[in-house]
Structure formats: structure tokens, C-alpha cells
Structure 1
Amino acid sequence: MEHIRVKQVMEAANGRLLCGNEEQVLANISLDSRNMSGLDLFVPIVGEKVDAHRFICQAIGNGAVAVFTSAHRDISQVEKAIADWESRGNDGKAARKAAWIAVEDTKAALQSLGKYCRNRLSIPLVGITGSVGKTTTREMIAAALSAGYAVYRTPGNSNSQVGVPITMSSIPSEAEIAVIELGMSEPGEMEKIARVACVDSAVVTNIGIAHIEQLGSQENILREKLHIQDGMNPEGILFVNGDDPLLADIQAEGGRRIIRYGMSAGCEYRAEDVRLDEGYPVFTAVHGEKRTPVRLQVMGTHMVGNAMAALAVAAEYGVDMEEAARKLGEFGGYKGRQQIHGFQGMTIIDDSYNASPVSMKAGLEVLSSMKPGARKIAVLADMKELGPDTVEFHREIGRYIAEHPVDQVLLYGELAAAIGEGLREAGGQSPFLLCGSLEQVKEWLKRETKSGDCILFKGSNSMKLGDAVSEFMGQN
């Protein structure tokens, strides 16, 4: 936040100052009472298990100069909270000096503040949503746009009801365009964050089965994702993946333009002559009469669609496609998402951040495309939030491996065991080992791997395969 004071935050969030200075300058928003960046507004979120209001004084002690609160209605309640803090041996001076802002609901107040920050921006915002590949597509779009703009992009994974408002508050004045990721996992969530972000253009990468437990069907997921158009600039563009059967025939709302990208014949931005060169995609990007050669530094044919989304957005915002393709060629991936590492003569494919059937097959394709003759090892963990057909989706991966064999499969997790069932039922020849713990995975890797091996790590983030990667490579 630049040039924002407590009184403006109060107005934006319809808050009431219980104590403190309304002229206090604010620069950052924090949800974590332990970490402050300086001149922070601490927003305590009420979760299912923890109410962060209990950490308000701790947040102030760590540097927050203002707080939202829905748990304190007057100065006497503030004084009681500070007295309790002091009774545990802490200094309450900073807590008495800080601005305590009473609001009805801290999450809703944060979203109102995010909308206020969005309204102060004059630069275009490009929103990204989809079931798979949002973060990689976000990074690739930012890379392509950087050929013509100073680009700000969503930091980390801040794509939620609380993350998007903070992103809106973090966009610096020197940015010329912003690429914002919008995620959702439950009905109504996309509408809320879309009305905070009010994007100028939107990209929908695909409609998969992530969060199908909460939403019930892919058609419901599609409807939710398309709420990214709520609050969108009426003259904006909706970019959709023309290769996705659920997106191929949709129309944009409100008469907006729709642009399709991908490898299908009907796409306005289309990839042709696609091939893999040692796992890295090489292709020609076609738009009208213009043909642009592209070579990526991220692996797998599934990256071609992400790249075409990036080129389409960049071109529509006036960036020369050849310059955008050059910048795309410099993009080397994002942590935990098909990062390629060399370690003691081995090739490590760290794709441990998340998993779905589509992305797991893509990871296995990358593994198979690696150095001919090298031993290929797939370390696969549970795929989460896939709904009532979860076990069948895991068996499907096993059948895929039967058709695209690797030299060794390690399966970690109760659901991942179904991958072995599918592999065995399909008559696959790839040997597999069921691991009952992450420690067993780590021990096998330390004991059995050798120089020349290619190893893929793929699973849902909650399975913590990233920890196994870090420890295996000596980073822990």
C-alpha cells in the first residue's frame, strides 16, 4: 500500500477507530502475527480451528501499527486484551499506541480494502484462473509481457479470498501491467475475489476435476471459473483454452471479445509443428499471417498451451510476438512445478507442488522424454480433492504407466496404492513399491539411486514430496 493512512483504511472497510492515530501511515498487510514487513496492518482471520484475534498483541509486538478487529467493540475490551498480554510478561506500550479498527467481519473488511486499493490503480490487470497450470501460466504471461511492460504478478500462491485483496494492495506505482491469479475451491468464492480484482482481461486455462468434491461436477466448476468475468472491464478480452472441450464453445459475457488459444484449428492463436527436443517443446506460434518460432525451457507438450496463452495476451496488449517468444524462452519454471535439477549425475524433476490426473500424466510424459537409456524413476503420491471417483482416477494413472512404462515406480499414500492396482490390472511391466511413509521414500532414494537416473516427484502439496526432494538433494 502506498500513501494510505488509517483513516482511509477505516473508510474503505467501514470501520471504527477504537484507539490510535488515524493519520498513521500504512505500507503492508499481514495475516501472520509472527512476520511483519514494516508499517503493517494486521488482519486476524477467524478460521475453523483458530481465531487469530488472540494474536493481535503479538502482531503489534512484532511491528504491526494497526489492526482490524471484530472481537473488540470498545476501548475497555481493547484494554482488557492488552492487560492480558501484559500479565504474561509482555510490554503493552506498542499495543496501546497502535490503531485498533473495529469491523463487523475481518475477512470482509480485508476484501473491501482490497477493492479500495484496486480502484486506485490505473494499470490493466490480467486475471488467470483454471483447474491446472494457473501459476505456470501466470509466470509465462508475465514473462511474455515483460518484453514490453514493467510487470507485477501475484506473489507466491496469493490467489484466495484473503490473498487477492493483499495482492491488490501490493501492486507498486512503477508497475505498468499486473498479472493476477484467482483461485477457488468452493461455490461463490470466485465471484467474491473477482469483484475485488475487477480484471481488465481474463484467461481460463482449463476445466479439470480439482475441487470437484466441493463443486460436484466439471460443469459446476466451469460455471464458477467463468465468474472471473464478474466486475470485469466490459471492453476486456476473455482468453480461453480452445483445446479444452468444456471451453471450446463458450461465449464471453456482456458482448466481450473472446480469443481462443491452443493447438486446435479454430484457435486464433495456434501452435503448429509441435515437437519435443530432449523434453523441451519446440513449435511455431501462428496468428493470422504471422508465424513465430518458439523454443521453451520448461518441459512437456502441455506447456505449449500455457505458452500460447502467454503469447496471445502479450500480442493483444501490443507486444511483438517475436520479442514475447524470446522472453518466454528465458522462463525456466516455478518452484515445485517441473523444476529440473542436476544432482550427483542424476536429473531431478521436482513437480511436487500439486497434482491432478492431467498434470501427473504430463509429468510422466516429461520423465519418459528424458535422456534415452537412462533409468526412469517415478515417485508418485496421492492426488487430493478429486471427489467420489478419486480411486478410479488413481487407477487411471496406473493404466497410463502400463502404456508408457518407466523403470521403477514408488507409490506413497493410501490413494497412490490404487495407481499400483491400475498398473497391475492393465498388465504393466513397470515394477512398483508401496511406501508407507515419506521416510521410506527418502531411504529408498538414498539407497537405490545412482548417477544417470532421472527421477520424477509428483503428488499433491499436502503429501510433502517437496520435503523429500529437498532432503534428497541435501537442502535440509
Structure 2
Amino acid sequence: MEKIHASKLLAGLVPAGKLTSDPEVELVTTDSREVKPGCIFVAFPGERFDGHDFAARALEQGAEYVVVNHPVPGVPEEKAILCPDSYHAMMVMGANYRSQYHPKMVGVTGSVGKTTTKQMTYAALSGFGETIKTEGNQNNELGMPRTLMRLESSTEYAVIEMGMSHAGEIDRLARAARPDVGIITCIGVSHIGNLGSQENICKAKLEICNGLPEGAPLVLNYDDPFLRKAVLPAHVRPVWFSLSDENADVCALSIRQETDGMSFVLEDQEHGTFVVNIPAMGRHNVANALAAYCAATRLGCDAKRVIHGLSNFEQTGRRQKVVDSEGVTVIEDCYNANPDSMKAALAMFKDFPCKRRFALLGDMLELGELSREAHEELGRLAAESGLYCLITYGEQAKRTAVVAAAKGVKTLHADSYREAADALLDRVQPGDAILVKASHGMALEKVLDIFYEEHKEAEV
């Protein structure tokens, strides 16, 4: 964060002229341990700690102002920025800070694939100038302002991921970030328990348009039926990508899964035809690469250099990360899961070259009333995916196991991380492959930690 006068940063939270001083601020933090002179401390009430308990101490340690939801003993009125919603305060400050800079910015949302698309867009753009991106899961009304506050005068490009669980959230994120290009990867069923239908999810994702300027490109999935029939605002310029339909602005043909990723022919009605190789598996990742390509080229970047950048893409966390464990290939994909991403992962795994295929699948969370149907459908998909053995973990995944077993798949349901790890350790052999996928809350990485440690010892 570069220095900014408090009056600019706090505009909209404090009436003009009401600040008793206008110092330069070089940090906004919600963590009392990070407080230092020249910062603003934002108090958040939490389940374990209440930031308001640290507000007075933050001033003692040199904070210029503290943002609080209510008056706090020991905090002078002239040092307190009263705001009933700390998230709103972060968003206002993030938007104010962002307005001081003019990078070319891409906003990424969608039900599935937005983090991978963000990573691919970053790879596509970073060769053209200094680029920042959303780190980790900082894609909400707390994390996104933090990302915006990493902008500097030297920043030429920024890739901002926008997540949501309720209507109106993307609207607020997009208006604060004001991207030059928007991407909607697809419309799935994540958070359908909150939004009620995929039509409502589509409307919520399209809120990204509220932050786009006149004539801005909006990159959309031509293969998604909800996006295809959506009524788009007149001020955006749709750029459609497809995995097969040559009527789209950009499409992928001759898609092949290789041992280390995907290869395909990219046809762009605007820039021509190119052969593309990406170090990521599955047709869904071809779609993500097309979205990133569309955004970068419609920002004016050279198509060949964009494609070169995509070839250097690096996945983050445990998202389809391929690990060799003593001759057994493990595909770590346990960062998140929903019906669409599970379907895509199993489709990829079905074509993965190996001796035998094992899958460890856990619960998909936040599906509301769709949960039972979705987990039973997952069992049917698993049965059609060429699995040698399916191991499940989680209360909802029991339904997956029951359906898969009824269709003839060797199945085992584990009641603990230890039991799941043992099921793999007892069965896998060199040449086999394991797909591990569940919602992040199921913490299947704990199974992998046990597996890797003991599998290595067993092979010594």
C-alpha cells in the first residue's frame, strides 16, 4: 500500500472537513498485531475475539484512527470512525484507494473455476507488465479491499476474483473494483440454498456488469445455457468462448488430454488460429484458459504472448495438483467441490493414463435441499468414470457410496481420516492414480498428509 491521506481514504465514512487531522496512511489492518504508526485499525466483532477490545491499544501503538461499530471506552471521539458495518468500511476504503490508480483490471466471477481462471489470467498478463492478483481466498468483502490496497503506481494489471454467497455481493465488489473487463466462467449450483435457483445465481453473477464501464468486454461461456439466454446490459460488449461451437468469438477444437496437461487448437475470430498447451488437466481447464485468453486479448495484449503466458500457468493450493508418491500419481483437488466441479474432475480422471483409478471423494457443502440429489448423482457419475475403487468420507458422501456400490463399483466408506488413508495405503500400487476431491471444509488434506508420510516409509 502506498501512502494516502486519511481524508481521501475515509471519504464517505466521515463527513468532509470532520477529521481533526489529515495524516498519510500506509496500512489498513484488522489484526491488532499488525498495528504500527501511520495505520488505520478496523475493529471486527468475531466469535473468539472482538476487535473493539483492541481499539484503544491500537491508538496507543500509533494508529491514526480506528474504525469501530460503536463508541468504545478509551477511544477519543475524534479518533473513532463510527461505522455500523466493518465490512462496509473496508469496501469504502478499498474503493477510495483503488480510485487513485489506473491499472487495467480484470474481474473474475462464476460458480466454478474462478480461482483457476484468475491464475490463468494472471499468467497471461504478467508478461506484459507488473501484475497483481487476488491471493488465496481473498475474494469477499474483506479480502477484496485488501487486494485493492496492494495497488501501486507501478501496477499495470490487476486480476480480481469476486466470490459471493448472496445476491448483491458481486454488485458491491464490482462497484468498488471497477474492472475494465469482466469474466463469468459458468453458472452452477454453488450457494443455491441461499439463492433458490440457477436463474437467480445467474442474475447475481451478472451484477459484475454494474462495475464495468461503457463498452467493456464481458467474457462469457457460450456453452452455459443460463448465460446464453441471459439478458445482458446494453453497456457491455459480450465476448463468447466455447469448447466446440465455432459460432463463439473464441473456441477450442481438437482438444486432447496429455500426461502433463491439455493441448488444443484455439480459433479466435478476431486474432486467428493458434495451437495451445496448458499445464492443467481436463476440458474444464481448457474453458478456463479460453476465458483468460479472451480477457487478456480484449485488453489489447498480443495473442501469441498471451498464449505463451498461459503455458506457464501455475495452479495454487491443492487444486488439481499432480503429485508422484513412490510411483502412485495423486491428483490433489481438495480445495473445493460442487456438482459441476466434481463432474469435470471425474471426466478428466476417466481419461487419465494409469493402471488403476482410485477416487477419494468427500462431501460437497452448502448445497441446501439439493444436497441429497447431488451426492446420489455423484455416485452415478463415479460409476461411469472407470474407477477401480471409490472411497468416500463424510455424512453426505455416504449416499455417493451407496449409489456407486449398487452400480458395481468397489466402494468403502471411511469414518475418519485415518480410515481413509489406510484404505488407500492397503490397496494402491505403483502405476495407480488417486483423485482426491471434496469441499475445503472436509479437510481431505489431512488424509493426504497421513498417506504421503506412511506411503513413503512403506516403500523405503
What displacement does 1:415 show? 0.4
Counterpart code for 2:305: E
Matches within 5 A, 1:403-442: 403-425=384-406, 427=407, 429-442=408-421
Matched, 1:220 2:200: yes
Say if 2:255 is the partner of 1:274. yes
SS in 2 for 1:146: helix
Letter of the 2:254 counterpart: D
1:305 and 2:304 aligned:
no
Where does residue 132 of structure 1 map in the other structure? 112
Measured at CA, do residues 273 and 63 of structure 1 come closer, stay the same or move farther in structure 2, by a change above 3 Å?
farther
SS in 2 for 1:213: helix
Contact 1:394/1:415 (8 A) holds in 2: yes
Partner deviation per Cα, 1:343-391 (whole Å, 9 max, x = no partner): 2222111100100112112222333333332x32111100011121211
Secondary structure of the structure 2 residue equivalent to 1:253? coil
Find out whether 1:465 has 2:444 as its counterpart.
Answer: yes
Q: CA deviation at 1:342?
A: 1.6
Question: Is residue 84 of structure 2 the alignment partner of residue 78 of structure 1?
Answer: no
Alignment match, 1:53: 52
Q: CA deviation at 1:395?
A: 0.9
Equivalenced residue count is 452
> What is the deviation of 1:473?
3.0
Alpha-carbon distance in 2 for matches of 1:67, 1:365: 51
1:158 partner SS: coil
Q: CA deviation at 1:8?
A: 3.4
**Offset from partner CA, 1:297-331 (integer Å, 9 cap, x none):** 01111111111111111211222222211111111
- The one-letter code of the counterpart of 1:345 is G
With normalisation by structure 2, the TM-score equals 0.90
Give the superposition deviation at 1:12.
Answer: 4.6
Matched, 1:25 2:6: no
- Alignment CA distance shift 1:39-1:416 (3 Å): farther
* Residue 56 to residue 291, structure 1, CA distance change in 2 (3 Å): same
In structure 2, the CA distance between the partners of 1:180 and 1:408, relative to structure 1 (3 Å rule), is same
Aligned to 1:44: 43
Secondary structure at the aligned position of 1:411 is classed as strand
**For residues 225 and 347 of structure 1, what CA distance do their matches in structure 2 show?**
36
Q: CA deviation at 1:50?
A: 5.7
Q: How far did residue 235 of structure 1 move?
A: 2.3
1:285 has 2:266 as partner: yes
- The reply on whether 1:122 has 2:121 as its aligned counterpart is no
What is the CA–CA distance in structure 2 between the aligned matches of 1:444 and 1:349, rounded to whole Å?
17
C-alpha separation between the residues in 2 aligned to 1:372 and 1:279?
13
Which residue in the other structure is 1:388 paired with?
369
**Cα offset for 1:336?**
1.6
User: Which residue in 2 is equivalent to 1:316?
Assistant: 298
User: Which of 340, 354, 371 pairs up with 1:358?
Assistant: 340
More moved, 375-384 vs 29-38: 29-38
- Say whether residues 1:259 and 2:239 are aligned partners: yes
Distance in 1 between residues matched to 2:138 and 2:107, nearest whole Å: 13
Q: CA deviation at 1:127?
A: 0.6
Q: Which runs of 5+ in 1 are unaligned?
A: 81-97
Once the two structures are overlaid, the 10-residue window that deviates more, 351-360 or 170-179, is 170-179
Q: Does 1:153 align with 2:133?
A: yes
1:397 is aligned to 2:394: no
Residue 400 and residue 53 in structure 1: after superposition, are their counterparts in 2 closer, same or farther (change >3 A)? same
- When residues 33 and 380 of structure 1 are mapped into structure 2, their CA distance, relative to the original with a 3 A threshold, is farther
Judge conservation of contact 1:275–1:282 (CA < 8 Å) in 2: yes
**1:104-253 alignment to 2 at 5 Å?**
104-253=84-233
**2:374 match: secondary structure:** helix
Q: Which amino acid aligns with 1:244?
A: D
Match of 1:94 in 2: none
Provide the C-alpha distance between the structure 1 equivalents of 2:61 and 2:431, rounded to a whole number of angstroms: 48
Whether the 8 Å contact between 1:262 and 1:304 is mirrored in structure 2 is no
State which drifts further: 256-265 or 9-18. 9-18
2:296 aligned counterpart, secondary structure: helix
Uncovered stretches (5+) of structure 2, i.e. residues with no partner: 455-460
Measured on the aligned residues, the alpha-carbon RMSD in Å equals 2.8
* Residue type at the aligned position of 1:3: K
Per the TM alignment, residue 61 of structure 1 is displaced from its structure 2 partner at its CA by 8.1
Q: Secondary structure at the match of 1:385?
A: coil
**1:172 CA drift (Å):** 2.2
Is contact 1:378-1:408 (8 Å) kept? yes
Is the 2:335–2:440 contact (alpha carbons within 8 Å) kept by the matching residues of 1?
yes
CA contact (8 A) 2:383 2:409 kept: yes
Q: Structure 2 vs 1, CA of residues 297 and 230 (structure 1 numbering), >3 Å: closer, same or farther?
A: same
Which residue identity is paired with 1:134? K
Distance 1:294 1:110, change over 3 A: same
Give the distance between the partners of 2:294 and 2:37, measured in 1 at CA. Answer: 38
Identity rate, percent: 33
| Aligned pair partner of 1:344 in 326, 349, 365 | 326
Mapped to 2, the partners of 1:116 and 1:158 lie a distance apart of 18
Measured after TM superposition, the shift of residue 10 of structure 1 is 3.6
- Secondary structure at 1:171 match in 2: coil
CA offset at residue 168 of structure 1?
A: 1.6
TM-score by length of 1: 0.87
Once the two structures are superposed, what CA deviation does each residue of 1:200-233 show, in whole Å capped at 9, x if it has no partner? Answer: 2211000000000000000000011101111321
User: Does structure 2 retain, via aligned residues, the 8 Å contact 1:279–1:300?
Assistant: no
- Name the CA shift for 1:133/1:254 in 2 (closer, same or farther; >3 Å): same
Are residues 50 and 226 of structure 1, via their aligned partners in 2, closer, same or farther at CA, if it must alter by over 3 Å?
farther
Instruction: Note closer, same or farther for the CA distance 1:403–1:444 as it changes in structure 2 (3 Å cut).
Output: closer
- For 2:400 and 2:155, the matched residues in 1 are separated by 46
* Cα distance, 1:180 vs structure 2: 0.7
Aligned-partner residue type, residue 30 of structure 1: T
Pair 1:382–1:174, CA change in 2 (3 A): same
